Chain A
Amino acid sequence: MELMKLTAVETGKKIKAGEISVEDAVNAAFEQIETVEKDVNAYVTVLEKACVLEKAKEIQKKIDSGELTGPLAGVPVAIKDNMCTEGILTTCSSKILSNFKPAYTSEAVLNLEKAGAVIIGKTNMDEFAMGSTTETSAYGATKNPWNFEHVPGGSSGGSCAAVAAEECSCALGSDTGGSIRQPSSFCGVTGLKPTYGTVSRYGLIAYGSSLDQIGPVAKDVTDCAVILETIASYDQKDSTSVKREEYDFTSALKEDVKGLKIGIPKGYFGDGLDEDVRKAVLEAAKVLEKKGAVLEEFDLGLVDYAIPAYYVIASAEASSNLARFDGVKYGFRTEEFRGLHNMYKKTRSEGFGAEVKRRIMLGSFVLSSGYFDAYYLKALRTKALIKKEFDRAFETYDLILGPAAPTTAPKLGESLSDPIKMYLGDIYTISVNLAGLPGISIPCGTDKKGLPIGLQLIGNCFEEKTMIQAAYTFEQSRSYEGPKMVQR
């Protein structure tokens, strides 16, 4: 199990050097799953061990023959359960997809597989990625490995908890309004949301199509850069995929922030920000300053408008995206019904959870005739204005720095009763999705209760490298610390 303490890149190196086999790595992951999964519940599906070991052997052969040479060859990975995997249950943590086995694999996962990564399971999430705690899953909440009484954050809570609890070497998550960065912050791991269009969405079961983006969750910045380099691609099957000039992210893994201009939005440090979080984030900023970055506070406009705009746009898209789950073609269908409309109603009433229903209703409302202009169009205009605010900021700054979330992980059961409060927890992450920007969350300390705090760096569109370099530089000032509770 010592093996699982390694990062994905370290594991890959040991395999390549012949110090360990792919099977050793896979066995180590399964051993850890057997030990801690009952407490963490990070997975919806753990694959059959025998099948995974079979796959491990195949990959070992390809490594030995020199066919696979990449840094992730043989590394055990976990995939958020909203990415299609051929023949493997893909539920979005919803009852409505409880029996759904896709006929194809999503592009991002294919890219990982081509690089020789070994999939060991599908991770838990908020149902259809709607939620900030992983408590809306139909398959039970995931627990924060740092303290089982706390949530791991969400919606990629399963992926982040699995990495923190060392039940995989690294994972893929998806981020629509902070769903990679916020749980990464809560679980003390590193999570990166790329510029919209960088990673293909083909095979990612859509929540808010114009905001969704797949990204890596790992122990450190190096792993994130390597995974991003592996999964990012121009994909003709995704019309919103962008042909980037380069797909090199790892060359940014350098310790150097001299002269880098970092803007700190004053509005990110106002009311509602936990004191411990504020302190840790500002200390992290000082570390970067000491290493040569130039820090400056500034006013980022429209911060308060991001949340309402986001919930209108994302819910509107979701109400349409989730219409296909109707019991006709795949997934759950209610047992007894009279006629087509009754079947639709019962299937969807029984198949979707409360939060999903809330957003479908909200989304249907804002798109209704008579309300479309007042809500949906206004939200789109707000989105465009927020993008302009960021454009303006990036004329002056190379990066924007702030917290990933206003608090550390709340206790289980505290959030769902007050959805508005839960939505407000997305304040620092959401505008990044609205503007299509890249963002990263890196651990920068713990609060009084010993729960992790995340530092968020936001880059300009297509400037992941600047962000990665600063994150890497900051990371050099501290060593990775896993959660105590699951450490042997």
Chain B
Amino acid sequence: MAKQYETVIGLEVHVELATKTKIFCGCSTAFGGEPNTHTCPVCTGMPGSLPVLNKQVVEYAVAVGLATNCKITQYCKFDRKNYFYPDNPQNYQISQLYLPICRDGGVEIELENGEKKTIGIHEIHMEEDAGKLIHDEWGENSLVDFNRSGVPLIEIVSEPDMRSAEEVIAYLDKLRIIIQYLGASDCKLQEGSMRADVNLSVREAGASEFGTRTEMKNLNSFKAIARAIEAEKNRQIDLIESGEAVIQETRRWDDNKEYSYAMRSKEDAQDYRYFPEPDLVPVEISDQWLEEIRAKQPEFRTQKLERYEREYHIPEYDAKIITESKKMADLFEETVAICSNPKKVSNWLMVETMRLLKEHDMEPEEIRFTPDNLAKLINLVDGGTINSSVAKQVFEQMFEYNTDPEAYVEEKGLKMDSDEDGLKKIVEEVIASNPQSVEDYRSGKEKAIGFLVGQTMKATKGKANPGMINKLLKELL
């Protein structure tokens, strides 16, 4: 019988923080910009320049730590990690080794089968990002752009608690939603504002010792992560089965080829010669500061899910989708506060909003319409001022330009037509000019009435009260 193997996975997740300025200088963190324009003596490693810590970085790191149940190191320090590479202007990175800002936390993940599991967080530390190398493909030169140099990062190091790609993705998603709720980062894997390195080893089921692990880099999507985990697990099992040893090394995943290759092994692993950063003073987080950050923590998804069920009585499925993003959840709650119709608000968000987001390839954060306008639209439908097909048309307008629906309906004359005498005349005309359908209906083809309703709507430019048309048609036929 073939041996059973267990996969053991730990993650190192880098998250780019959403501060306006860099971690150790006042330069902008904005994306884009001509190369080396968001730079100064500090983030280009000019001789004599000195780092000054951006307090917002500490606040975000503490907020993430609190949200992931970590212990906050109220007296923490920065250390230098020494290594030579041209994207790193000082040839050392300011990071944290000995006293990281958060330790010993964990988050609960929920799997497809409803099972819950806690993934431990070993530590979270603050550090600076490096610049970017641009290699000239034809010439012999490489160029370096320091615009990203000094952009603040936190590195979240998990315990080796995950056993499958599903758990890894559930964990990453949990982190992503927590951090987005905090506004600490937009956490986009594709754009690199969230990066995950996967440490993976396999062992025989039931073994107590861990196997030799490898570290996988360059994973730019959840799909790539799942594929890389599967491939690496199989690669290691194949090695073991054929009597070869797994080598502790860093590997780079090529998602196009669905293959990874070794970047460097432990033998040539560098000695980073960490030591306390003498240019910065220790960070002291007072009880008061800690409490201030704690007080600013938002209501997270887990709490929202419970409350939505209790307070709004919307289906769990809807609640889950709405709370995926804080923007969506806020929009939901604010709209409900105005129009007191949770189910209708949820429907607009679940159906039309989701459809248009997908069509426009937009994130919920980019939604432009206000809760106020969505509430007005719902009230217009509820009050019988417009019918549902007009409502969709108005919604599209609102989605695009945040148009006030009341003003728009007024301006475009979209109010529902419920004038029975007027509609009766139109219905009569429709019947007169569509003898075939009338014939079909009368001979028992119930569906034919749909065509006649459509024709009437067309004749009224979609404004007719659909219930009334149905009633009139049935009467006249």
Contacts and interface: CB of A to CB of B under 8 A. Distances in A.
Interface of A: 83-84, 90, 92, 97, 100, 102-104, 106, 201-206, 208-210, 236-240, 316-317, 319-320, 323-326, 328-330, 340, 344, 364, 367-369, 372, 376
Contact of B84 (A240, A326, A372): A326
Q: For the complex, would chain B's binding face be called helix, strand, loop or mixed by DSSP majority?
A: loop
Contacts of A317: 275, 278
B293 interface: no
Nearest to A209: B278
Contact of A240 (B46, B80, B91, B281): B281
B466 interface: no
A347 to B, nearest CB: 11
A325 B46 CA distance: 10
Given A103-B46, A205-B47, A372-B273, 5 more contacts: A237-B50, A239-B50, A240-B279, A324-B90, A369-B271
A239 B51 contact: yes
Contacts of A372: 273-275
B47 A202 contact: no
Given A103-B41, A239-B281, A240-B279, A329 B48 contact: no
Interface in B81-98: 82, 84, 86, 89-92
B275 A316 contact: yes
A342 B240 CA distance: 38
Report which residue of B46, B90, B273 has the largest number of chain A beta carbons within 10 angstroms of its beta carbon. B273
B44 A239 contact: no
Contacts of A344: 84
A239 B82 CA distance: 21
B-side interface size class: 20 to 34
A369 B44 CA distance: 28
Contact of B273 (A240, A330, A364): A364
Interface string B57-85: 00000000000000000000000101010
Nearest to B82: A320
Given A239-B281, A326-B91, A328-B86, A320 B275 contact: yes
B57 to A, nearest CB: 14
A102 B40 CA distance: 12
Contacts of A208: 278
A182 B47 CA distance: 25
Contacts of B381: none
Nearest to B92: A320
B49 interface: yes
A239 B91 contact: no
A441 B90 CA distance: 35
The 7 A-B residue pairs with the shortest CB-CB distance in the complex, in nearest-first order: A323-B91, A367-B273, A209-B278, A210-B278, A203-B48, A205-B47, A84-B48
B449 interface: no
B53 interface: yes
A105 to B, nearest CB: 10
Contacts of B281: 239-240
A83 B84 CA distance: 25
Contacts of B144: 328
B262 interface: no
B338 interface: no
A170 B60 CA distance: 48
Contacts of A90: 47
Contacts of A103: 41, 46
Report which residue of B44, B80, B91, B144 has the largest number of chain A beta carbons within 10 angstroms of its beta carbon. B91
A317 B278 CA distance: 8
Nearest to A331: B47
A368 B45 contact: no
B87 to A, nearest CB: 10
Nearest to A327: B86
A430 to B, nearest CB: 17
Contacts of A205: 47-48
Contacts of A201: 48, 50
A367 B82 contact: yes
